[in-house]
Amino acid sequence: MRPLTNSPATRLFTVTLLMTAVLAACGGGSDAPAPTTPTTPTPEATPVSLRLEKIGSYSTGQYEVSAAEIPAFDAASRRLFVVNAQLGAVDVLDMGNPASPTKIGAIDATTVLAGASINSVAVHNGIVAVAIQAAVKTDNGRMALYRASDLTLLGSVAVGALPDMLTFTPDGNTVLVANEGEPSDDYQIDPEGSVSIIDVRNPAALVERKATFTAFNSQAATLRAAGVRIYGPNATVAQDLEPEYIAVSADGTTAWVTLQENNAFAKLNIASATVTDILPLGYKDHGVAGNELDASDTEGGAITIRTWPGVYGMYQPDALASYTVGGQTYLVTANEGDARAWGEDNAAYWAGDASQGFVEEFRVKHLINRNGWSGRAGDDLPPQLNAMAAGGLLDPAVFGYCGAVAGNPMGCRDDANLGRLNITWTMGYRTNPDGSPMMFTAAGVQDPTGNRLMYDRLYSYGGRSFSIWNANGGLVWDSGAEVEKFLASPECMLGQARNIPCADFFNSGHNEGNAKDSRSDAKGPEPEGIALGQIGNKTFAFIGLERMGGVLVYDITTPTAPVRVDYLNTRNEWVTQPSAANLATVGDLGPEGLVFIPASRSPNGRPLLVVGNEVSGTTSVLQLNLSY
């Protein structure tokens, strides 16, 4: 037979054959489906380890205005959606080339709700969900859906006040929104916290059901006794609980919600839109080995990570994620910590009008001054605290190790000891059987006519750690002091080139230059964001450290025995004070949200981690280089 030539007739014949084959493969050209051969997906290989590498970045050029917060990725359109709080919108980035993300558009919430802004974004199979906060944060917000490929608005629905984080269930049929319900800054309005559960199968007719906490209003005393922090001075339980972050079980039936300020989880039945449990998380004992912390920011450059008997950490997780091992759900939390500070910029509050706010944070040295706290009046003395007593004392039976004696905290007030540590004044003092404060004299003698509180516990903010919990809120594993100890070790290196000793800038702030140890008195490195990624048979946790910066990677395949794998901090300049003018030199600051992109959905075929850095306004693309 004569070979086929490249004539027009030959080309037409070839195209016709190809089209016929394509139609047959798709079931076209016939009413009967084409026969198919079942295939088994090739299992993904399991790596021994991984190493992060920054391969790309997008910068808004905006400094310290939260211009890059929460990222979400759509694989089909290869688009990245990043919450830009500075614009009150979502930046849309083309991720076709992960080494060079490019802005191609934006989602503007004001077309849905006048004066509104966007707090969070999530993506599922080409649908983008956004949480929209009203211009007045105590008003109800909205959740809106957009098509990822062309940003068409598909529908929106009213939700609760201050909708924060939102997420899809695994099947994509439902969106859950954490309605934080935070009070107004002057504490005159306090909406209830809630979780919106929205059927999104028909975007043009969204159906919202609200899981509320009103059924727990009569259980305030029981919840407090169990360890849930219900302490807003004018709040019901439903007003006091402030949903922050949501994780959903693999089967889509159950959700868990962090109640950050309350140091608890809420557990939800999604089908019935019901809060079934409020689970207290307990407290971290910084007095035992393994839970040490650095408590001072004024030690002359020293790093002092040690035990502090009588000091307890409130886990107060921000971000939350779930995964399954052996048929059991486990929850992973970044234990950032958060203090309530309503009215902190209101002069009337500090002048003594307790109705104008509520600030719970106070330094130890001011709380336990033997002369009382009147010297802080008009400065940082909360009126609610001042109304309770004239001063605070430390129990010498607990705090004798740092010098406390009856009526005098002595060396415990020193800046190099506990003096600089920020704590909550709302708990830790002795109480009477009815819950009222037990009074002592200035000499430390119990006396109903006294005017001093006796603290035998001090509670600081956050765990300076990440934790793994079971489905009922039981602690399975906590990183203890490992994060701070690692940052102080010679093993830890900073910068994209990994050539700057972490210890030189231990516990630095994300908006400071040359600020070693500046965050030790507060919440340390502040683990805040978390993302999980499964590669082969292993599950990895990626934890963003908000203040110190960078991303820690742990292999959490075995929930009871996580192993640190890597740490990359892409801040490259640590001495100069960051500003909008030097962002390109300084690098990434303040990681907030993280999203893992598996290799099967990645634009370059490699697993990626995208990080929104709120302080530097940059979105960084990190590649996971796997070793086998």
Annotate 364-377 with DSSP letters as a single string: HHHHT-TT-SGGGT
Residues 258 and 357 in one domain: no
CA Rg value for the chain:
27
Residues 172 and 270 in one domain: yes
Strands 563-568, 551-555: pairing kind:
antiparallel
- Could you identify the residue written with the tokens 């209101």? 346
Distance CA 3, CA 452 (A): 103
Residues 6+ apart with CB under 8 A from 551: 52, 542, 543, 544, 545, 567, 568, 569, 591, 594, 609, 611, 622
Predicted confidence at residue 43, as pLDDT, reads: 83
Of 233, 258, 281, which closes a domain? 281
- Asked whether residue 313 is assigned to any structural domain, the reply reads no
Average pLDDT value for residue range 605-619: 98
Distance CA 359, CA 49 (A): 45
- Asked whether residue 316 is assigned to any structural domain, the reply reads no
Give the pLDDT band of residue 34 (cuts 50, 70, 90): very low
- Helix or strand or coil: residue 57? strand
Strand order, beta sheet including 254-259: 243-248, 254-259, 264-269, 274-280
pLDDT at position 548 over 70: yes
- Asked whether residue 121 is assigned to any structural domain, the reply reads yes
Residues 156 and 277 in one domain: yes
Which tokens in the block code for residue 274? 């019901």
- Asked whether residue 202 is assigned to any structural domain, the reply reads yes
Distance CA 180, CA 195 (A): 8
CB 409 within 8 A of CB 399: yes
Predicted confidence at residue 9, as pLDDT, reads: 36
Predicted confidence at residue 300, as pLDDT, reads: 84
Predicted confidence at residue 508, as pLDDT, reads: 97
CB 546 within 8 A of CB 591: yes
Sort residue 376 into left (φ over 0), alpha (ψ -120 to 50) or beta.
alpha
451-507 confidence digits (pLDDT tens): 999 999 999 999 999 999 999 999 999 999 999 999 999 999 999 999 999 999 999
Is the alpha carbon torsion for 445, 446, 452, 453 positive or negative? positive
Residues 360 and 436 in one domain: yes
CB 391 within 8 A of CB 452: yes
Give the pLDDT band of residue 41 (cuts 50, 70, 90): low
Residues 351 and 272 in one domain: no
CB 358 within 8 A of CB 384: yes
Average pLDDT value for residue range 202-207: 97
Of 234, 254, 281, which closes a domain? 281
Strands 358-359, 361-363: pairing kind:
unpaired
Q: How far is CA 376 from CA 3, 342, 352, 363, in A?
A: 97, 18, 11, 11
Residues 224 and 349 in one domain: no
107-147 confidence digits (pLDDT tens): 999 999 999 999 999 999 999 999 999 999 999 999 999 99
- Asked whether residue 292 is assigned to any structural domain, the reply reads no
Residues 170 and 84 in one domain: yes
DSSP string for 410-462: GGGGSTTTTTT-EEETTSSB-B-TTSPBPPB-TTS-B-TT--EEEES-EEEE-
Predicted confidence at residue 86, as pLDDT, reads: 84
User: Residue 397 sits in which domain range?
Assistant: 342-460
- Asked whether residue 212 is assigned to any structural domain, the reply reads yes
Give the pLDDT band of residue 8 (cuts 50, 70, 90): very low
Average pLDDT value for residue range 531-557: 98
Predicted confidence at residue 625, as pLDDT, reads: 98
Residues 242 and 375 in one domain: no
- Asked whether residue 337 is assigned to any structural domain, the reply reads no
| Among 285, 292, 289, residue whose Cα is nearest residue 311 | 285
Average pLDDT value for residue range 510-518: 96
Range 101-110 contact pairs with CB under 8 angstroms and sequence separation of 24 or more: 101/56, 101/57, 101/58, 101/619, 101/621, 102/58, 103/58, 104/79, 105/151, 107/81, 107/146, 107/151, 109/144
- Mean of per-residue pLDDT scores for the chain: 93
Residues 254 and 111 in one domain: yes
Residues 80 and 218 in one domain: yes
pTM over 0.85: yes
pLDDT at position 27 over 70: no
**Structurally, how many domains does the chain consist of?**
2
Give the pLDDT band of residue 22 (cuts 50, 70, 90): very low
Give the pLDDT band of residue 447 (cuts 50, 70, 90): very high
Give the pLDDT band of residue 324 (cuts 50, 70, 90): very high
- Asked whether residue 593 is assigned to any structural domain, the reply reads no
- Could you identify the residue written with the tokens 């939102």? 166
- Helix or strand or coil: residue 564? strand
Diameter of the chain measured on Cα atoms: 115
- Could you identify the residue written with the tokens 């839970």? 291
DSSP string for 468-531: EEETTS-EEEE-TTHHHHHHTSTT-EETTTT-EEGGGGTT--TT-SS-TTTTTTTTTT-EEEEE
- Helix or strand or coil: residue 174? strand
Which tokens in the block code for residue 517? 């140890």
Of 440, 460, 480, which closes a domain? 460
Average pLDDT value for residue range 297-323: 96
pLDDT at position 35 over 50: no
CATH number of the domain enclosing 119: 2.130.10.10
Residue type, 11: R
